[in-house]
Chain A
Amino acid sequence: MSAAPEATPDAAQVPMIEARGIHKYFGGTHVLRGIDARVAHGEVVALMGRSGSGKSTFLRCLNRIEEPSEGDVLIDGTIITDLRTNVNSVRADIGMVFQDYNLFPHMTALENVALGLIHVRKRPRNEAQDLAASALIQVGLADHLAKHPNQLSGGQQQRVAIARSLAMRPKAILFDEPTSALDPEMVHEVLDVMRALASEGMTMVVVSHEIGFLRKVADQLIMFDAGKVIERGPTARVLDAPEHPRTREFLGALK
């Protein structure tokens, strides 16, 4: 049932992100049991599955914040799961947005966004601050540049986190349940930013259970269960006509 990777428009091209047979063990527990995935340039891929099924671990293997125990990750055709790879420059090229924002509380919004530009991209400080400011304006936070995270709402903090990734001009951004920690009335402001990014052609991998949002934005949906992919396909097809009983069960429970 889990067919070969979907024929996306760019199938002939090198995918932006490719995972080949990823396994991950934590001590004795086998958390990822051979995951393959291809994310084309400009594609939005959604990951769904019950809690503990390995979505976050997989996402973290893609920028090697977690080291895969087996398997390879390729970014734009280059193997990054290689001892000689400079992981720092790989990570600088792949943004990551966490469920609980993880902003740096001792810095203003602007400093949060400028940090990577200054210390990783080695931009001069004032140039970095200009770039950071424009990233924050892009996510609608023009009035909050000088505020610290504790002066911002959850939705605003999450948008700062997105701007922090965005400012690095990444090849792709990984989102790990970006709206799960938010109050319901703030969810849309974050989803709106993500939708705008998608429409501008940003490559994105999104762990999310916001069905309505995914239906509009995600090209491909991958269902995780117990460390394996149990179903994958175009988002509307998987949502409307799930083939695997577990997918049906999971989607039924969401409604």
Chain B
Amino acid sequence: MTGTLSQPRPMLLALMFFAGLGYLLATPVTTGAAIWMDVAATVGVFILFLLLFVPLQIDRRAPDWLKNLSAFALFVLLAAAFFRWADADWGRLGHLFFNFEVMSRPGVMLRMLSGLWIAVQVFLFSLVLATLLGIFMAVVRSIVNDALLNFFIDAYVDVFRAVPPIVLLLVTYSALPYSGIVLSPFATGVVVLALVEGAYLTEVFRAGIEAINRNQVLSARSIGLSAWQAMRLVVLPQSVRIVLPDYSNRLIGLMKRTAECSVIAIAEILKVAQDLQSQFVNATPLIVGALLYMAVLFPMTRIVSRIERSRPRN
């Protein structure tokens, strides 16, 4: 019994999928007393599907594409059940959230794409600044190692990690006009994000430096290398591999946090999408905005998880 149940049966699974989908799509929702029959039938579709689905997923010999395809089939069935049972005004939702007509109006997609470009610019500029800041702070902390200096660096790290970036953005943006400092919203956003990210990266790089055995520095110094040379030639090249997974994970967070710059009127993706939304009284730009973020972030997360898998042991 268990033997036959645990056999993967892809053909039967496919048959079950089409039967279930047919039922969910073709028959209208029953009302009244017979609704229990309908509920039972829907549940039954999923139980039967899962009985065939699970053995395939846990079978080690089953090819990956078959596993992915069947997982997708399960998703389709769930979606079909949702659409069948949810009591929603589908036409109205479609009009508000998936409105191609709105998106195809002149200049709309162009504005969305320029939002993407600005978001990427905020990301890149603040990334470079934050990386330099983080390396500088971590290296100075390790080499100079002066109590007072360490106190200030730790204070910077703690403060900027303890305030939500969006609050910092708003405070800086509102305070600037009275401070006599003239900064564009774009520059303000870049500087604030870089300061926040720099605080996190200081910690990331510090951990990477401290992970290197102290004897490596002694060994480098015994050849006659200066402290800075030992850091640059011996410690940092080894820290890179240790730091890379955490560093690349922070990149993803930083890209997402560029959305917070919308509150200080930087015309990045979210700001543009919100402007278009109120202009056309339609939420489709928000959906397109989400897709734009995904277009950037999917490849990034893919690369990052590949880097994570190559994380050096020990």
> A and B, one complex?
yes
Check B140 for interface membership: any CB of A closer than 8 A.
Answer: no
Chain A 144-174 interface residues, beta-carbon cutoff 8 Å to B: 164-165, 168
B111 within 8 Å of A (CB atoms): no
Q: Which residue of A lies closest to B232 (CB)?
A: A119
Q: Does A63 contact B (CB under 8 A)?
A: yes
Per the bound structure, the CA–CA distance linking A89 and B222 in Å amounts to 10
Q: CB-CB contacts of B225-239 with A at 8 A, as 1s and 0s?
A: 110010001100110
* Complex contact A119–B218 (CB within 8 A): no
Contact of B215 among A89, A90, A100 (CB under 8 A): A100
Give the CA-CA distance A7 to B193 in the complex, in Å.
70
Complex: chain A residue closest to B213, CB-CB: A102
Query: B223 at interface (Cβ–Cβ under 8 A)?
Result: yes
A88 with B224: in contact, given A104-B234, A106-B238 (CB under 8 Å)? yes
Residue A65, interface by CB 8 Å: yes
Smallest CB–CB gap between B210 and chain A, Å?
17
- B218 to chain A: which residues have CB within 8 Å? 60, 65, 98, 102
> CB < 8 Å: which of B216, B229, B233 contacts A102?
B216
Partner of B223, one of A60, A105, A116: A116
Chain A contacts for B215, CB-based, 8 A: 98, 100, 102
CB pair A91 B224 closer than 8 Å: yes
Which of B218, B222, B223, B237 counts the most A-chain CB atoms under 10 A from its CB?
A: B223
A221-B229 Cα distance, complex, nearest whole Å: 36
B216 in contact with A104 (CB, 8 Å): yes
Q: Are A105 and B224 in contact (CB under 8 A)?
A: no
Kindly identify which residue among A95, A104, A106, A165 contacts B220, using a CB–CB cutoff of 8 Å: A104
Does B114 have its Cβ within 8 Å of any Cβ on chain A? Answer: no
Taking CB atoms, residues of chain B closer than 8 Å to A226 are: none
Across chains A and B, the number of contacting residue pairs, with CB separation under 8 Å, is 57
Chain A residues whose CB sits within 8 angstroms of the CB of B224 once the complex forms: 88-93, 116, 120, 168
Asked if A207 is at the interface of the complex by the 8 Å CB criterion, the answer is no
A200 vs B285: C-alpha distance when bound (angstroms): 80
Instruction: State the CA gap A176–B305 with chains docked (Å).
Output: 43
A229 proximal to B (CB < 8 A): no
Q: What is the distance, in angstroms, from A158's C-beta to the closest C-beta of chain B?
A: 13
Residue tally, chain A, CB below 8 Å to B? 26
Q: Is the CB of A92 within 8 A of B223?
A: yes
Residue total for B at the interface (Cβ-Cβ under 8 A): 17
B219: nearest chain-A partner, CB-CB: A102
Give, as a whole number of angstroms, the nearest-CB distance from B54 to chain A.
43
Question: Given A65-B218, A102-B215, A104-B216, A91–B223 Cβ distance below 8 Å?
Answer: yes
Neighbouring B residues of A63 by C-beta, 8 Å: 222
Contact status B222-A96, CB under 8 Å: yes
Instruction: Specify which chain B residues have a CB less than 8 angstroms from the CB of A100 in the assembled complex.
Output: 215
Contacts of A168 in B (CB 8 A): 223-224
Q: Report A-chain residues with C-beta under 8 Å of the C-beta of B223.
A: 91-92, 115-116, 120, 164-165, 168
Interface residues as binary, A72-107 with B (CB distance below 8 Å gives 1, 0 otherwise): 000000000000000011111111101010111110
How far apart are A145's CB and chain B's nearest CB, in angstroms? 18
Chain B nearest Cβ from A58, distance in angstroms: 15
CA of A64 to CA of B82, assembled, Å: 74
B257 at the interface (CB under 8 A from A): no
* Residue pair A88, B225 in contact (C-beta under 8 Å): yes
Q: Are B238 and A91 in contact (CB under 8 A)?
A: no
Least Cβ distance of B196 to chain A in Å?
31
Q: Inside 8 A of A91's CB, which chain B residues have their CB? A: 221-224
What mask results when residues 195 to 224 of chain B are scored 1 for a CB within 8 Å of chain A, else 0? Answer: 000000000000000000101101111111
User: Nearest Cβ distance between residue A131 and chain B, in whole angstroms?
Assistant: 14
Given the known interface contacts A105-B238, A106-B237, A106-B238, the answer about A120 and B216 at a Cβ–Cβ threshold of 8 Å is no
A91 to B223, CA, bound (A): 6
With beta carbons under 8 angstroms apart, the residue of A60, A103, A115 that contacts B233 is A115
CB-based closest 6 A-B pairs: A92-B224, A102-B219, A116-B223, A96-B222, A120-B224, A91-B224
Could you list 14 A-B pairs, sorted by A, with CB under 8 Å?
A63-B222, A88-B224, A88-B226, A96-B222, A98-B218, A102-B219, A104-B216, A104-B220, A115-B223, A115-B233, A116-B223, A119-B233, A120-B225, A164-B223
Residues of A within 8 A of B (CB): 60, 63, 65, 88-96, 98, 100, 102-106, 115-116, 119-120, 164-165, 168
Known interface pairs A98-B215, A104-B238; 14 further A-B residue pairs with C-beta atoms within 8 A, sorted by A's residue number: A88-B224, A91-B222, A91-B224, A93-B224, A94-B222, A95-B222, A96-B219, A96-B222, A98-B219, A102-B219, A116-B224, A119-B229, A120-B224, A165-B223
